[in-house]
Amino acid sequence: MSISLVLGGARRLGRAGWMAAIAAATAAAVMVSGCKPEGGSAASDTIPVGEFASLTGSEAAFGRSSHNGTAMAIDDINAAGGVLGKKLRLVTEDNQSKDGESQTAVKKLISLDKVVAVLGEVASGRSIEGAQTCQKYRVPQISPSSTNPKVTEQGDCIFRMCFIDPFQGTVMAKFAGGTLRARKVGMLVDVGAPYSVGLATFFKERFLADGGAVVAEQKFTKDDKDFKAQLTAIKAAGPEAVFVPAYYGQVTLIVMQARELGITVPFIGGDGWEAPELLKGPGAAQALEGCFFSTHYSPDQDIPKSREFVAKYLAKHGDRPDAMAALGYDSAQFLADAIRRAGSAEPGKIRDALAATKEFDGVAGKMTLDAARNARKAAVILAIKDGRFAYKETVNP
């Protein structure tokens, strides 16, 4: 039984494991000090920063990229002397891409590791879970890349580094009606994911307002692997494009099965498509050729701060950074900047400094923070071309 059991690197404990670890470490601290554990005793010369991420499981590509960016920022901040004379210490928890794990993870970070702020998540549903806990304890949370409006609606301690889905939905509705000249679209929505449901709603609103028609609206859930029934119905409705606001793992299956059924029109989606895994596996890249999705960042964009970041990231990870990595990086820099401006690492003061932010200039570009703690920021459209993600255009808000 030791505190080091739960400090440091990312842990893969289930809910029961976390609970046991929290209880064990609390007991150990009581025994050592003879009093109630208070304050970050592990290292008071460091500032503990929490992160929860999907490092394993169905959206592991999200968690890995986001974590790589976040960790790189923490290293850069510390190499430049840290914040308020202290180094930042990142404590990461893996929620295994499972619904229902993020509250426990965040509770552990706050009550056991005494983190001053929490970074995460990528998927909106899990950011919402974490936000409920952060708001309850009034510890600021910054989601790097969750786009559903409900994330920051959890309360005044919750922030994000990215645009929200009413904007992203509009971007893709305009793209479908404009660039693709589609008048009729089909949609396939993951009804269990707030991200998917929200983005579908905002896309549809705009597409209809622009005079288009949604000719088929089909549903699925997280563990589905066979989409033939839904795709058959979509095919029968004769759409000129199909919008699939889902996460990469299922998108690949959906588009491959669509091609098998003879659906040849472009499939389009949002940031949830972005992962190298989208194009992996036999036939995947071929099925997705000529498809498009919106996201937050491309290493091909001409952003001054991005150049050095891309080179460093490539050298360290052997791959260029994607949107999650860039926004993960910016989320940690945004936090460090707020701690500096607050002149204190007290969660309430950090919250106020974050809320007072007007503009932030990051590796993923400039953003303006609005009163609802959401970022106003440009979107990027990527094409799948020659088996890779190709930068197509930037869309300003």
Sign of CA dihedral 218, 221, 222, 224: negative
Local structure of 185: helix, strand or coil: strand
User: CA-to-CA distance for 294 and 396, rounded, in angstroms?
Assistant: 12
Pick 22 or 143: Cβ nearer ligand PHE:
143
Pick 324 or 363: Cβ nearer ligand PHE:
324
Q: Give the sheet arrangement for strand 213-220, strand by strand.
A: 213-220, 184-190, 241-243, 267-269, 292-295, 379-385, 388-395
Pick 271 or 330: Cβ nearer ligand PHE:
271
Pick 350 or 382: Cβ nearer ligand PHE:
382
* Minimum separation from the CB atom of position 88 to ligand PHE (A): 23
Pick 42 or 72: Cβ nearer ligand PHE:
72
Binding site residues, ligand PHE, CB under 6 A: 62, 122-124, 145-148, 195, 271-272, 274, 295-296, 323-324
* Minimum separation from the CB atom of position 151 to ligand PHE (A): 7
Burial of 318 (0-12, 13-18, 19+ CB in 10 A): exposed
Asked if 71 contacts 330 with a C-beta cutoff of 8 angstroms, the reply is no
* Minimum separation from the CB atom of position 56 to ligand PHE (A): 17
Measured in whole angstroms, the distance separating CA 211 from the mean position of its chain's CA atoms is: 32
- What is the Cα gyration radius of the chain? 21
Q: Is 343 left (phi over 0), alpha (psi -120 to 50) or beta?
A: left
Provide CB contacts within 8 A for 217, sequence distance 6+: 186, 187, 189, 200, 204
User: CA-to-CA distance for 143 and 326, rounded, in angstroms?
Assistant: 12
Provide the token pair at 373: 């703690």
Pick 28 or 390: Cβ nearer ligand PHE:
390
Pick 160 or 206: Cβ nearer ligand PHE:
160
* Minimum separation from the CB atom of position 46 to ligand PHE (A): 29
* Minimum separation from the CB atom of position 146 to ligand PHE (A): 4
Q: Output the furthest CA–CA distance in the chain (Å, rounded).
A: 72
* Minimum separation from the CB atom of position 272 to ligand PHE (A): 5
* Minimum separation from the CB atom of position 324 to ligand PHE (A): 5
